Amino acid sequence: MSHDDFAFEPVRGLPEALPEGEHILWQGSPTTMKLAREGFKINWIIGYFAVLAIWRVGVSSSTMPFNEAALHAVPFVLICAGVCLAMIGLAWVQAKATVYTLTNKRVAMRIGAALTMTLNLPYVKIGNASLDVKASGHGTIALELLDETRFSYITLWPNVRPWHFAKTQPALRCIADAEKVAAIFAEAAEIRTSVPRVERTTQVAMAAE
C-alpha cells in the first residue's frame, strides 16, 4: 500500500489552503539527475576517482604488465559507483520532498527532506531574479530578496543559489522548462508589484505629520 508523507497538506506543496483571490500558476520540483549533478556534484566525484584510478594503474604498470595493472583500478571504480549511487539516492529524496509553487501573489517553496519547512516569498519582497539555464532546458531561478530577511545557507541547501553566503538567495533548483517558468514568474511579479498598496495610518501618526 502506498503512503504519502505529505497527505496532510490541503494543497500539494502548501501548508494551508489558498486564500480567496489567490490561485496557482505553476508547480514543479527539481529533476533528480540534474540535482545530483549540480547540487551533489557527482561529475566531480567521478572525475576525482577517475584520476585516482589512472594514477594507480600508472604506478602499477611500471612493475607489472598493463593487463594486471589495470585490475588495480577496479576498487576505485566500485567505490565511485557506490558513492554516486548514494548521491543520486539523496538527490531523489530531496527532489521528492521539494515542491516549488508560483501563485499570482507569491513564491512558495516546500523544502527539506528530514525537517520540512515552507518559505512564502511575496513578489513585493523579491527585488530581482536570475536565471541560469542549461542546453537541456533545465535551469535554476535564484531570488534576491529586498528586505533584511536572512536565511541560513545550510537550511536552504540545495534550494539556494550556490556560493552566495553573505546574502543567501532561495532558488528553484534544476527545474524543467526553466525559461517558461521564468516567464510565468516575471509576468506574475510584474502584475503584483504594479498594484498600488494602501497602508492604514493611525490618527496619531497623521497628526504628527
Same domain, 120 and 84: no
Same domain, 131 and 176: yes
The whole-number pLDDT of residue 203 equals: 46
Condensed to tens digits (0 to 9), the pLDDT of residues 56-85 reads: 999 998 888 888 889 999 999 999 999 999
| 200 located within any domain | no
Q: What are phi and psi of 63, to 5 degrees?
A: -120, 0
pLDDT bracket for residue 93 (50, 70, 90): very high
Instruction: Name the residue range of residue 53's domain.
Output: 35-93
The whole-number pLDDT of residue 4 equals: 53
d(CA 72, CA 66): 10
pLDDT top residue among 167 and 99: 99
**Number of structural domains found in the chain:** 2
pLDDT bracket for residue 146 (50, 70, 90): confident
Same domain, 150 and 123: yes
For residue 206, CA distances in Å to 134, 196, 197 come to 53, 20, 18
pLDDT top residue among 206 and 15: 15
| 2 located within any domain | no
pLDDT bracket for residue 115 (50, 70, 90): confident
Looking at residue 164, which CATH number applies to its domain? 2.30.29
Give percent of the chain above pLDDT 90: 67
| 208 located within any domain | no
| 145 located within any domain | yes
Residues in the chain: 209
Same domain, 137 and 85: no
pLDDT top residue among 6 and 34: 34
Q: Grid coordinates 513585493 are at which residue?
A: 124
Same domain, 46 and 87: yes
Same domain, 187 and 119: yes
Same domain, 64 and 112: no
The contacts of residue 159 (CB under 8 Å, 6+ apart) are: 30, 98, 109, 111, 170, 171, 172, 173
Same domain, 76 and 120: no
Same domain, 114 and 184: yes
**Amino acid identity at 67:** N
| 148 located within any domain | yes
The whole-number pLDDT of residue 191 equals: 87
| 8 located within any domain | no
pTM for the structure as a whole: 0.83
Condensed to tens digits (0 to 9), the pLDDT of residues 165-206 reads: 888 999 999 999 999 999 999 999 998 877 555 555 444 443
Q: With 50 as the cut, is the pLDDT of residue 89 above it? A: yes
Same domain, 44 and 125: no
The whole-number pLDDT of residue 2 equals: 40
